[in-house]
Amino acid sequence: MSNAKTMTTENSGEQKKVSPLAVMKSVIAASFGVQTKSNRERDFEQGKFHHFVIGGIVFAVLFVLFLVGMVKVVLHFAGV
């Protein structure tokens, strides 16, 4: 039984890192509520918290800027 614990500890040091593209895909999917269970588990096991916080902030800012831009375009074409 102690060998299993040792193997788990040794394997945890060899975890893969989550790529920046995977972080952004996870942030976008989670923001719309369509994140898969396997991706969520991967994020919690292999990802770093601050990467997802930064990704979430960047996504939120870009999303708000997109919405503001779309409203301005619609108002412009509506003649307001």
Amino acid at position 48, single letter: K
Condensed to tens digits (0 to 9), the pLDDT of residues 21-46 reads: 999 999 999 898 898 899 889 988 99
pLDDT digits (tens, 9 = 90+) for 5-27: 444 444 555 567 888 899 999 99
CA angle at residue 24 from 51 to 54, to 5 degrees? 30
The domain spans of the chain are 16-78
Give the DSSP H or E segment for 75. helix 49-78
**Is the full-model pTM beyond 0.75?**
no
